[in-house]
Structure 1
Amino acid sequence: MVQQGASSAGDASAQVLIVWYDADGNMLPGGLGSSLSSGNVVDSGSNGRWYPSSVTATVPPGAAFMTIGASALKRAGGDPLWVDDFQWTYTPVEPGIKELPVDKAYWFDYDKENRVTVSNGVLQAGKIVIANDDTSSLQSYDKDGNVALRQSYDNGVLKRQQLFYDDQGRVVRIVQTLPDGVTRLLETSRYDSAGRLLERRQYADDGAAKRIDVSSYDADGRLISQTAYGIPMGGVYQPVDEEGNPLPMPDDGLEGLQLLSVVNYQDGTAATGYDAAGRLRGYRYSLVRNEQGSGMTTPEGYTHTYRYTYQGAETYLTQQVVGTSTHKDFKTSNSTST
């Protein structure tokens, strides 16, 4: 499952991967289709929802082991790109059956500038068009090469999104038109003088705020924290007095939204922050509440800590990333590059 900010479409994407290994633990040669099997690319962040990337594949010749992971691309923007909730099944192939049926084929189309115009579409009468599902989209570009209009289906409803930019080419506002012809504000973004994203607000179809992402930076322009506010499982927070009568919402600019998560890159401990070369030593991700409508089933109230070590080369390369959690159901992870 993949989640990102709506305005990141075209600048951020992710897909699920199956990586195949031989009996000695070496990745199979041959690239895509032999050493790797990839799922559909998710580049939509509409409504802040989680979108699925799936793949059906047969075990290639020589494969003895497999791992499941993801490939992600992020060019711009301050919103985190999340990939989570991996699930898989294995069906033995019976004698006489050469391959498993393909669940679905995804088609892509491009303009003369080699820019994607249709993502995860279908082939109809020899033409690639958007599908009536939640992962397909059609987009067009303005004279500066920015995505100006994006169309997609959400639960069978066609939504048209117009993106507006400042003079630096940064998305500052997204408005959405539904089949009823009414145009609604979908998202706003605010930047500092250096072009760094400070705040992104997303709005529901009724105009109410549903998510706010806030980023802070130090004097050198490095991230200090990224904080997400939204609607938790159970609904919008409503303060009440001692007799249970509704009270006005706090005047804190959060429009009644509650803290969902915090990513701390600098919290004053040795586990986070940056070294003398400006490299990230580590960060902490704290999930306070699961977001309503996210579909997430993981427990709440935990903190993951990730620590980086580096090895010297022509440039410093990431050598190892170790992740630990305050929750017993999450095991320590260790990723090493050689």
Structure 2
Amino acid sequence: MKFVDEAIIKVLAGDGGNGCISFRREKFIPFGGPDGGDGGGGGSVWLIADEGLNTLIDFRHQRSFKAQRGQNGMGSQMYGKGGDDTVVRVPVGTVITNVDTDETIGDLTVHGQRLLVALGGKGGLGNIHFKSSVNRAPRKSTPGTPGEVRELKLELKLLADVGLLGFPNAGKSTFIRAVSAATPRVADYPFTTLHPNLGVVSLGTDQSFVIADIPGLIEGAADGAGLGIQFLRHLARTSLLLHLVDVAPLDGADVAEQVRAIEHELSKFDAELLDRPRWLVLNKADVLPEEERQAVAEDIVKRLGWTQPWFLVSAIARENTMEVCQKVQRFFVSQRAEHAGRTEMHPGDVRMRGDGESI
């Protein structure tokens, strides 16, 4: 199955135009000397982040992008016209990697942000540049240099504040439907979610955050099993993970072991994800008798030795889901306050303008 959050494209900058060999020839001036102009520079290829796009699906159909070649120089010291640049629009959150070197060359995280990915060639020199005291009629020019050619890997990483994590059928899609306006498909079979879903949780004026639901993980995901590993990259930008688990699996699986299995896959994929704030959400509490719910949840938490916040919810019945969201909002408020305190200007600090000069 091909997913639309990853694409390989080829970008070709325009070649520079060739310099011209020409001599001035006018009435009564039979030997007017060289007047060959320079070639124009080739166009470059730029990527630009566009918040109106949310997938890389367009690159299934067009995989090659070429900028215009520079015009050749002409006589009468006429320079060739420079080639037009080519601008390729990509979703905000796209990471660009050079396929040949595996080097990350850019990360477009802001609407309108631009990245030069292939530089156009330089125009060649006309013979006017080669005139000297010993060579009054040079028959020499230089060709334009070729534009850069690159094969790029585009990888979309969703820009979300909170990431939902868990096994298939843990109730992640139901949870995101319960707390936001997102409407992912919900069904009681594995891999209902085949593509990441984003939802905005709004708790009032200027109080909102973005939550991402990715396909469920299975054991062996970090080695390529299942679908979820192909989307773990979307958790890279999140500040907080909500780890959803089915508090009473129909197959009688040990919930604590399921949590540890996901932790193992996270550590194999990216150890930094495991160190990120991660709250446990014990879902589907409605399937348990009301008088047993709290005891079952506390037993799971105790066996895990869980020290971070945890919640017992029923996403389908919308029980305690907003309480989770309110605590998440308070978490982000405190984070922003802490960040503001660290970045507050102190006497003697020097702020820099975008052009590098101090102000």
- Which structure dedicates a bigger proportion of its chain to helix? 2
Q: Point out the structure with the larger strand share.
A: 1
| TM-score > 0.5, shorter chain as reference | no
- TM-score, normalising length: structure 1: 0.26
